[in-house]
Amino acid sequence: MHTYSVDPAGPAAETGEQDPVYDVLIVGGGPAGATAAMYTARAGWSTRVIDKGITAGALGMTSKISNFPGVRETIRGSALVEMLREQAEGFGAVFENDKVTAARVTDSVKTLWGGKGTYRGRGVVVTTGSMGRTQTLPGEERLTGRGVSYCATCDGFFFQDQTVVVAGSTDEVLEEALYLTRFARRVVLLSPAESLRASEDLVDEVEKHAAIDVRHAVTLREILGKDRVEGVVAVPLGDEPERIEATGVFIYIQGGKPIVDFLGGQIPVTSDGCLLIDETFQTQVPGVFAAGDVLCKHVKQAVIAAAEGAASAMAVDRYLAGRSKLRPDWS
């Protein structure tokens, strides 16, 4: 495996210094991303996967999986994702729990920016799925950057000794809520589900934390404030709307739209926001590939996403090795 260090004055040099450049960066760690990581790492390419958490994707949130080939028993989707990741890690892939918020992918060395740091790679595979939101909340656009945020590790510092609201219920959300307790006096966690859809250890830590007020089956309806956030309107299931006073709102609500906003329009998409690829799963930007639900071109099944992850990984292998054609590999 190889990692590189970026030299601003020239091409990447193979060193062990800071700012490593991986051979492959994979955004998203579901069935497509974890399988792609398995294949690229097994092929000898240094591979880093940036993912928001096991339960952040569609498979991780699924309660029962009974039709994945080779897995005879019925298991939770999160358990299947964990199995795929462990197999990829066994070949040397590295998983980073982070959210990619911006990217520059048109250079020969691609750069991704997340809440925890900067990631650089020679090839990128986008497997972020299609759970992005299609609509904003009343007051959200007006107050974005004025108390509305989507990244606690980016903006949590600005809410010292204040009350903030966090909306969502996955691993990512709980990690962000816990991070916010380093700064905020009180964190009100609004879970739209009747139970938190996250790993047991995270749920236990959050529910026992003195600074976190967990409210189950509560929907975030509106964000209040003129020039900056002053509070929110929340609706408990079967009850009347209530106002919660807060100076910050961190939103992690999910929907059904491909998650490609971090690409900043650098890669062409369809009218529905789905990434366009060729027969090798490469986008119109050389070195950037995509697989899984972000393509919106198939029935949403974990086995299909995993197969596309494998196909995209073999295409990345061809790209990095400078081959013009795919090399068959049936092992």
Ranges of H-type helices in the chain = 31-42, 58-61, 77-90, 140-143, 152-155, 171-180, 200-208, 302-321
Tokens read off for 322: 């400078």
Number of other residues whose CB lies within 10 A of the CB of residue 23: 22
Cα(14)–Cα(288) distance, integer angstroms: 22
**Is the C-alpha dihedral spanning 62, 68, 74, 78 positive or negative?**
negative
Sorted by sequence, the CB contacts under 8 Å of residue 150 that are 6+ apart come out as 99, 101, 250, 251, 252
Catalytically active residues are: 151, 154-155
CB-CB contact of 283 with 105 (8 Å): no
Sorted by sequence, the CB contacts under 8 Å of residue 125 that are 6+ apart come out as 24, 25, 26, 27, 33, 36, 40, 288, 289, 290, 291, 309, 312, 313, 316
**Region for residue 15 given its phi and psi (left: phi exceeds 0; alpha: psi -120 to 50; beta: otherwise):** beta
Q: What is the DSSP letter of 224?
A: E
**Matching residue, tokens 């520059």:** 104
Beta-strand ranges (E) seen in 65-194 are 94-97, 100-104, 110-114, 118-126, 148-149, 163-167, 186-191
Beta strand 100-104 with 94-97: parallel, antiparallel or unpaired?
Answer: unpaired
